[in-house]
């Protein structure tokens, strides 16, 4: 299992007379995931991941239905995770650390502070989507912990790049791990304490944090290079 240009599948979808790319990763059998995505959110089975590029002013009345239509149209069967973004999904960045592999697409048109006042909040599309693959049968608690760790690593990369936000208003994350059988599930965490935790100082959490930080940092640097101050896609100054 390798997250590189050779294992990610690129599709093209024609909608409203516009051709847009879709990035996908078909999972090997026996994986499960936790996700905040519009399709496949929560914890469950995981057969594929999809990251579809949409218009900057995306306003579909039912994004979940739209994402499902895209997956069905591409022949992605079973339970999977579908994300949407206005970022260019062809300009993805990936990183690997200790077997943990990450893919990130970064759009920073309008970064936001998580605890901004209601008056300051805006909702334009500008999304950081992250896929994290961990080759270990982590517990549910570790999966939840990893979502926190991944988000902290993403925010660290943004802070270091001088981005005035902790993320965007529509970021999504998916952490996928190898599953274990129902019989083994109850005993696996006690047999291996590393499967219980996903914090930044745990075995798999630290690896995920470094890989996410590297991928998001690279994507952030690339986005800033392609959208200098004054660019019409960039709503924040230096």
Per-domain residue ranges for the chain?
A: 9-226
pLDDT value of residue 184: 46
- The predicted model gives 197-202 an average pLDDT of 96
Q: How far apart are CA 124 and CA 170, in angstroms?
A: 9
Of 181, 238, 141, 158, the C-alpha closest to 30 is: 181
Residue with tokens 């100082």: 201
Q: Give the model confidence (pLDDT) of 71-84 as tens digits.
A: 999 999 999 999 99
Which class for 128: exposed (0-12), middle (13-18), buried (19 or more C-beta within 10 A)?
buried
Whole-prediction pTM: 0.91
Which class for 158: exposed (0-12), middle (13-18), buried (19 or more C-beta within 10 A)?
buried
Rg (CA), the chain: 17
Which architecture does CATH list for 9-226? 4-Layer Sandwich (3.60)
pLDDT value of residue 121: 55
Q: Give the model confidence (pLDDT) of 101-141 as tens digits.
A: 999 999 998 888 999 877 665 555 579 999 999 999 999 99
Q: How far apart are CA 87 and CA 130, in angstroms?
A: 12
In angstroms, the first-to-last Cα distance of the chain is 39
Of 67, 49, 37, the C-alpha closest to 170 is: 37
SS3 state at 85: strand
Q: Give the model confidence (pLDDT) of 168-196 as tens digits.
A: 988 999 999 988 754 345 544 456 889 99
Q: How far apart are CA 7 and CA 26, in angstroms?
A: 8
Q: What is the DSSP string of 39-74?
A: BS-EEEE-SEEEEEE--TT---S-HHHHHHHHHHHT
Q: How far apart are CA 117 and CA 121, in angstroms?
A: 6
């Amino acid at each position: 299992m390798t997250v590189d240009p050779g294992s990610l599948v690129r599709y093209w979808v024609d909608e409203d007379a516009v051709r847009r790319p879709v990035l996908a990763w078909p999972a090997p059998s026996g994986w499960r995931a936790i996700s905040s995505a519009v399709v496949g959110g929560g914890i469950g089975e995981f057969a594929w991941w999809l990251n579809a590029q949409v218009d900057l002013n995306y306003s579909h009345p039912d994004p979940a239905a739209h994402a499902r239509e895209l997956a069905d149209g591409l022949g992605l069967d079973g339970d999977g995770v579908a994300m949407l973004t206005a970022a260019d999904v062809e300009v993805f960045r990936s990183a690997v650390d200790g077997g943990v592999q990450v893919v990130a697409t970064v759009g920073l048109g309008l970064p936001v502070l998580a605890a901004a006042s209601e008056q300051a909040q805006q909702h334009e599309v500008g999304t950081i989507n992250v896929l994290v693959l961990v080759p270990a049968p982590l517990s549910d608690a570790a999966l939840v912990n990893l979502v926190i760790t991944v988000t902290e690593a993403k925010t660290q990369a943004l802070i270091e790049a001088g981005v005035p936000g902790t993320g965007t208003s529509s970021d999504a994350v998916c952490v996928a791990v190898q599953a274990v059988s129902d019989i083994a599930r109850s005993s696996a965490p006690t047999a291996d304490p590393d499967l219980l935790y996903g914090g930044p100082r745990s075995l798999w959490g630290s690896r995920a944090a470094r890989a996410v930080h590297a991928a998001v940092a690279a994507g952030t640097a690339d986005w800033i290079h392609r959208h200098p101050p004054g660019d019409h896609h960039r709503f924040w100054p230096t």
